[in-house]
Structures are given as C-alpha cells and as structure tokens.
C-alpha cells in the first residue's frame, strides 16, 4: 500500500462531525463483566475510547481477545454493558458486525479457495453485491500486497501471506472499525514491519478507526494513539500516547561535560525544573524557553553538551508501571 | 474503482438484502461440490434408476410391448403406490451414499481451518450458516429424489389420464413428504458429524456407522432384552416405517407410524443440538 491522501469528501465529513455533536466513542464499556462458568474473565470494565487507533495491551490471558470477542457478540456479557460506535452489543449485534472488519488471531481461511474467491465471498457475506465484492476483493488484495499471489490457493500461502489475506478480508467490505487481533503473530521482522506500515497507512486514511490487540509493545507503540492495558481481566492503565508524546516534548535529558552548579542554577533561573545525576541533567522546559536558550547558557558557562534527548516514558515504562501497580 | 488504487477506501454502495446472505454460502459451497470426479460420477449414477423407472412407465403404457408379454391387462407392469415406494427406497439408498461423500466436507474444513469467526463477525448468523450449508445437501438430494419422482408421477399421469392422476394424487404428496423427511435427516446428521469430526473420511465413515451399526445395535438390544424398543435407535427401520405409512404399504411393523415420527423428530433435535453446540465462532471453555 502506498501513501494515502484524505479525500475531499472525507475531510468535509470530518469537519461536519467536529461542528455537530461529538461522535460516539469507538468503544464504551460500562461495568462490563464476562464469566465462563466459575471463571470471571473480564471484571467490571469501565472506559470510553475515542482514538483513531486504539491499542489493547496486556500479557497473555489478560482478557484482550475475550473483550474483542464480547464486543463482536461471540460471548455474552454476564453483567454490565458495552457499545461499539454507539451501538449496544446486547441488542445491535448485527449492526455492529456490519460496521466492523475483524482479523482473528489464529489461522482462519477456507481450504481449496484462492485469495480472490475468499475475500470476495467474505465481502458478499457482509452484504456487497457480487460484482462490487469482486472489485473490492481485487482492490483489497492489491492494497495488502498480495496482488501477484491472489489466484493462488490459500492453503499454499506462507504464514505472513495468510496474515495479509486475513487483513484483506477484514477491509474488503469497507468497515468503519477494524479490529486486529495480534496481527503480527508469527511474522518475521520484515513481514512485521510491512504489516505495521500497512496498519499505519490504513489508520492515516482516516476512513476508519482501528482497535489493535497485541501483547507486543512495539506494535502498539508504532500504530496506536490510545492504549488500554488489561491485566487479569481488569483495566490496569489507560494512556493517551498522543497526548503524552505532545506533553513530553518539554521533557529533556542532557549528557554534559564540565557542568557545575552554575549551569544548573542558570537554567533554573529561566524557570525550568532540573534534576542532576552524575553528568546527566533532566529538565522540564518552562513555557517560552527553547532549546537554543539551553545551548546559549551552555556556551556562556563553558559546558559541552554531549547528548540531548527528549526523554519520555516509553510504552514499556507505562506497561511495566501498570503491571507493577 | 480500479485496482491500481492501492489505498484503503470505504464502501458506500448498495447492499444486498439481509435475508439473502445465506444464498452466498450456498453458492460458494455448491461450486466446490463437483471438483471430485468420483462425486460427479456418483451423482450421475443416481439418475440411472429414475431413467429405468421412466422406461418402465413408458413400457407399461406401450400396448404392443405388453401384448408381446401377454399382459395387456397390465398385470406385469403396474404403476401404483408400490412402484413409487420402491423408487423412494432405491433413491433413498443412493441419497445416503451421496451424502456420505458430500456431507462431511461441508462444515469440517471451516472448523479445522478456524474459518467460523470470519463468518460470524459479519452480519451473518449461525442459523444462516447452517441454512446455507444444509441447502447444499437439500438441493443436491432433491435433484435425485423428489424432483425425478414428481417427473415420473407427471409422466405416468399424462399417460394414464386425468382419472388415474386424480385418484393417485396422494402418491405425489407422499413422495414429496417421504423424500423431504429423509433429506432432512441425512442433512442434519451429515452436518452434525461434519461439525464434530475434523477429518472428512472419519466423518463419512461415522455416517455409515450411525445407520448400519444403529441397525445392528437395535437387533442386539431386541434379542438380548426381548423387547422391540431397540428399533427406536434404528434410523433405517424408523424411516422405513414412516415410508410404509405414507405409501400405504400394509406391512406389520413393531413401531407405529406416530412413534416413528416422534423418534425421528427427537433424532433431528439431537443433531440440531449438536450443531448449535459446535457451530460458533469460538468455543467457550468453562
């Protein structure tokens, strides 16, 4: 898939949406619990997620897939409720399913069928007329990079190709929400990169929203704006990565040579908060202070700056904190 | 939209009616049916007896042929309820063999390849899935059972005249009902086995086992326990009882028609329950 450009109509729709009532959250959970026999898998989940790309993160067995399957109506909630794009999962399952494209975690294909027939059939089951479904199947397979192999039987595909075919069937009918359950499972590094790039491209088309479920931090960090961390069936943490990225632009880490108290004092006089350790200096830039001001003071105090980083909590930090708590 | 546009675009065109989605599954399942030459050959074989029956009807009305046999009065070749009863019996056996080849491949590949979540994450219910798959068998078996049966009845009616047709109209009704009951039983049984057994060959063998070992088991129960209750697990016996009743064949049976109907209904219910249990996106492990 190459670069994408938001269409005029889509931009117009987006503008209309911002001027009118706010759109419903992509996923809203209100005390959602799911129980299988005596085991409570999801426990009283409450949140409203509105991001363009939402990551569901958690260790194996945290309840990520169960949450997705419940949202799709595969499992019935034992208590509480939830909605997807404003539609209740108990009463409007069919409507939700017509708006969603789902890429399951495990192998999911139909034997002795080539990729075009497979994607076309899935699009037809979503309601597209046969001719439109065929056209969209070809488009989707081109889109995910399976154009050359689209007439091959799915059984002969490699694992990476099967993942791409699953992605193609999930987007062929033009859903409003794309749910990806462990999309990079079993992929080698280059195939993983390709998959992540494709997910980002789809996200940036702004035609649909994405829920990505993974236990791989890098996948979520590379593609998502919002992260919901689950642990033991509960929400361990919610983080808006986009907001944090913006906020942390003011959080600097310097490695210096020849710095002394004068340098730190001078920076603090600018209104910045500082913390020193050995030859490292962490600071939060005050409003109106730019990096060039730091360099100017360093020059005045004869301090050499060896390294300057925008330091922020990585998703790994956030995840480990959430697991620790 | 042209395929060279390699970006994601949403779809805003027309949608097909929701009620018609099961036909998609039927169409795709049906298209893969005749890939096997053996299956195609078997399907063709299933038309030999209807052709033979057609010839029989023709000959029964061919006076010069009957005269050569010395049976102008129609004593040798009589087209009546027994004729259609035998037709249903022969075609029923062939339908069973055809089901043993076709049925196991309907659901088991979807389960083995984890395809069920792909169906059910769409606006497509489990009932529609079962309907789509069952319709493949139902239409296939209809083509060899009641449709040729009705053609034979129509030919016989046209040759024998309006009076015969009016007097024997009940045979046409019995023929359709008898065939549909057998088709329903075979379809549900084949799909239930296909859903529970991953391997196609094993599922086919099990289908044979249910019918043949069922009969053997019933005989054993009857002999050991000195009862007639064993017949209730013998599908062939129950079906034969129902057919006897429908075609008014005065044969002494250990089980009444009503009991046979009830037993077959329970059997269908069990098959449906097995299907409902297995045909779901993900199995819940409690």
SS (H, E, C) chain A: CCCCCCCHHHHHHHHHHHHCCCCCCCEEEEEEEEEECCEEEEEEEEEEECCCEEEEECCCCCCHHHHHHHHCCCCCCCEEEEEECCEECCCCHHHHHHHEEEECCCCCCCCCCEHHHHHHHHHHHCCCCHHHHHHHHHHHHHHHCCCCCCCCEHHHCCHHHHHHHHHHHHHCCCCCEEEEECCCCCCCHHHHHHHHHHHHHHHHCCCCEEEEEECCHHHHHHHCCEEEEEECCEEEEEEEHHHHHHHHHHEEEEEEECCCHHHHHHHHHCCCEEEEECCEEEEECCCCCCHHHHHHHHHHCCCEEEEEEECCCCHHHHHHHHHHC
Distance CA(B166)–CA(B173), nearest Å, equals: 12
Architecture of domain A251-316: 2-Layer Sandwich (3.30)
- The share of chain B scoring above pLDDT 90, in percent, equals 56
Instruction: Give pLDDT tens digits for B71-102.
Output: 655 556 788 899 999 999 999 999 999 999 88
pLDDT value at position B5?
55
Averaged pLDDT score across all residues of chain A: 85
Cβ-based burial of B146 (10 A; exposed 0-12, middle 13-18, buried ≥19):
buried
> Which chain B residue lies closest to A107 (C-alpha atoms)?
B114
CA angle A159, A163, A166 (to 5 degrees): 135
Does the domain made of A8-232 have the CATH classification 3.40.50.300? yes
Residue ranges, comma separated, of all CATH 3.40.50.300 domains in chain A are: 8-232
Q: Distance (Å, rounded) from C-alpha B264 to C-alpha B233?
A: 9
Q: Give the best-scoring range by mean pLDDT among A13-22, A223-232, B89-98, B229-238.
A: B89-98
How many whole angstroms from its chain centre is CA A182? 11
Residue-wise pLDDT for B238-285, tens only, equals 999 999 999 998 777 788 889 999 999 999 999 999 999 999 888 776
The reply to whether residue A124 touches residue B24, judged by beta carbons under 8 angstroms, is yes
Q: What is the pLDDT of residue A312?
A: 63
Predicted confidence at residue B61, as pLDDT, reads 86
Task: Categorize the per-residue pLDDT at A141 as very low, low, confident or very high, splitting at 50, 70 and 90.
Answer: very high
Q: What is the pLDDT of residue A8?
A: 40
At residue A77, does pLDDT exceed 90? yes
CB-based contacts of A20: which residues, under 8 Å, 6+ apart? none
Taking CB atoms and an 8 Å cutoff, what residues of chain A touch B32? 112-113
Instruction: Name residues whose C-beta falls within 8 Å of residue A141's C-beta, 6 or more positions apart in sequence.
Output: A115, A116, A119, A147, A150, A165, A168
Given a cut of 50, whether residue A69 has pLDDT beyond it is: yes
Contact B11 A128 (CB under 8 A): yes
Confidence of residue A4 (pLDDT cuts 50, 70, 90): very low
Does residue B18 surpass a pLDDT of 50?
Answer: yes
Q: Which two tokens stand for residue A144?
A: 């995910």
User: Tens of pLDDT along B130-164?
Assistant: 999 999 999 999 999 999 999 999 999 999 988 99
pLDDT value of residue A7? 39
Arithmetic mean of pLDDT over chain B: 88
d(CA A105, CA A124): 22
- Per-residue pLDDT at A316 exceeds 80: no
What tokens does A168 get? 């193609």
B117 touches chain A (CB under 8 A): yes
Residue with tokens 């190459």, as numbered in its chain: A2
Is A276 within 8 Å of chain B by CB?
Answer: no
A63: closest CA among A91, A95, A29? Answer: A29
Nearest to A97 among B5, B35, B121 (CB): B121
Quote the pLDDT of residue B216: 85
For chains A and B, CB pairs below 8 A equal: 142
Tens-place pLDDT, residues A256-315: 888 778 888 888 888 888 888 777 888 888 878 888 888 898 888 888 888 888 766 667
Question: Can you read off the two tokens belonging to residue A260?
Answer: 């002394």
Given CB atoms, is B5 within the 8 Å cutoff of chain A? yes
Q: pLDDT value at position B14?
A: 92
What average pLDDT does range A91-119 have in this prediction?
92
B42 contacts B98 by C-beta, under 8 angstroms: yes
Domain with CATH 3.30.70 in chain A: 251-316
Average pLDDT of the residues in B48-65: 89
The C-alpha atoms of residue B52 and residue B74 are separated, in whole angstroms, by 18
B31 pLDDT above the threshold of 60: yes
CA distance A132 to A138: 10
Confidence at residue B4, expressed as pLDDT on a 0 to 100 scale: 55
Chain A residues with CB-CB distance to B126 below 8 A: none
Instruction: State residue A307's pLDDT score.
Output: 86
Residues 23-42 of A with CB under 8 A from B: 36-39
Break chain B into its structural domains and give their ranges.
25-49+79-148+164-278
Which of A6-10, A129-133, A293-297 bottoms out in mean pLDDT, i.e. has the lowest?
A: A6-10
What gap in Å lies between CA A309 and CA B36, rounded to an integer? 66
Q: Do B9 and A147 touch (CB under 8 A)?
A: no
Rounded to the nearest angstrom, the minimum Cα separation between A204 and chain B is 10
- Cα nearest neighbour of B121 on chain A: A97
At residue B195, the pLDDT reads 92
A13-27, B8-22, B87-101, B185-199: the lowest-pLDDT one: A13-27
- What pLDDT is attached to residue B233? 85
Q: Give the C-alpha distances (Å, rounded to integers) separating A3 from A6, A148, A199, A219.
A: 10, 20, 12, 20
Share of chain A above pLDDT 70, in %: 90
């Amino acid at each position: 898939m190459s670069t994408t450009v938001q269409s005029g109509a889509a931009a117009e729709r987006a503008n209309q949406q911002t001027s009118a009532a706010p759109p419903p959250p992509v996923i809203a959970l209100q005390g959602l619990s799911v129980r299988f026999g005596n085991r409570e898998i999801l426990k009283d989940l409450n949140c409203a997620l509105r991001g363009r790309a939402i990551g569901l993160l958690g260790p194996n067995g945290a309840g990520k897939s169960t949450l997705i399957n419940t949202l799709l109506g595969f499992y019935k909630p034992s208590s509480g409720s939830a909605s997807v794009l404003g539609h209740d999962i108990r009463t409007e399952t069919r409507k939700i399913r017509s708006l969603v494209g789902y890429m399951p975690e495990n192998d999911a294909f139909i034997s002795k069928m080539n990729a075009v027939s497979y994607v076309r059939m899935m699009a037809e089951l979503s309601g597209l007329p046969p001719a439109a479904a065929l056209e969209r199947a070809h488009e989707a397979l081109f889109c995910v990079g399976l154009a050359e192999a689209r007439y091959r039987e799915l059984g002969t595909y490699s694992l990476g190709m099967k993942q791409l075919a699953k992605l193609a069937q999930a987007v062929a009918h033009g859903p409003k929400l794309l749910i990806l359950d462990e999309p990079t499972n079993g992929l080698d590094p280059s195939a993983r990169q390709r998959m992540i790039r494709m997910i980002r491209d789809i996200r940036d088309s702004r035609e649909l929203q994405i829920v990505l479920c993974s236990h791989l931090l890098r996948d979520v960090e590379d593609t998502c704006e919002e992260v919901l961390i689950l642990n033991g069936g509960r929400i361990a943490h919610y983080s808006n990565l986009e907001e944090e990225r913006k906020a942390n632009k003011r959080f600097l880490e310097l490695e210096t040579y020849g710095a002394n108290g004068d340098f730190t004092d001078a920076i603090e006089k600018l209104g910045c908060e500082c913390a020193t350790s050995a030859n490292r200096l962490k600071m939060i830039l005050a409003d109106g202070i730019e990096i060039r001001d730091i360099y100017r003071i360093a020059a005045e105090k004869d301090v050499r700056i060896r390294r300057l980083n925008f330091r922020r909590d990585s998703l790994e930090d956030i995840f480990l904190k959430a697991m620790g708590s | 939209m042209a395929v060279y546009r390699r970006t994601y675009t949403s779809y805003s065109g027309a949608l097909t009616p929701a009620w018609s989605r099961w036909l998609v599954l039927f169409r795709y399942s049906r298209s893969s049916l005749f890939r096997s030459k053996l299956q195609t050959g078997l399907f063709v074989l299933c038309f030999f007896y209807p052709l033979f029956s057609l010839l029989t009807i023709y000959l029964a009305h061919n006076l010069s042929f009957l005269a050569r046999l010395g049976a102008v009065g129609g004593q040798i070749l009589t087209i009546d309820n027994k004729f259609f009863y035998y037709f249903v019996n022969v075609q029923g056996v062939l339908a069973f063999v055809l089901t043993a080849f076709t049925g196991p491949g309907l659901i088991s590949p979807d389960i083995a390849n984890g395809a069920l979540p792909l169906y059910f994450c769409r606006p497509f219910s489990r009932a529609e899935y079962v309907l789509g798959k069952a319709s493949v068998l139902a239409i296939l078996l209809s083509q060899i059972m009641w449709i040729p049966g009705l053609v034979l009845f129509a030919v016989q009616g046209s040759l024998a005249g309006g009076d015969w047709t009016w007097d024997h109209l009940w045979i046409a009704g019995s023929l359709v009902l008898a065939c549909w009951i057998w088709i329903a039983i075979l379809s549900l049984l084949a799909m239930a086995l296909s859903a529970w057994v991953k391997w196609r060959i094993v599922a086919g063998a099990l289908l044979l086992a249910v019918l043949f070992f069922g009969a053997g088991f019933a005989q054993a129960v009857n002999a050991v326990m000195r009862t007639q209750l064993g017949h209730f697990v013998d599908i062939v016996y129950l079906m034969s009882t129902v057919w006897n009743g429908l075609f008014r064949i005065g044969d002494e049976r250990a089980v009444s028609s009503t009991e046979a109907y009830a037993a077959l209904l329970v059997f269908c219910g069990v098959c449906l329950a097995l299907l409902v249990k297995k045909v779901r996106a993900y199995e819940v492990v409690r």
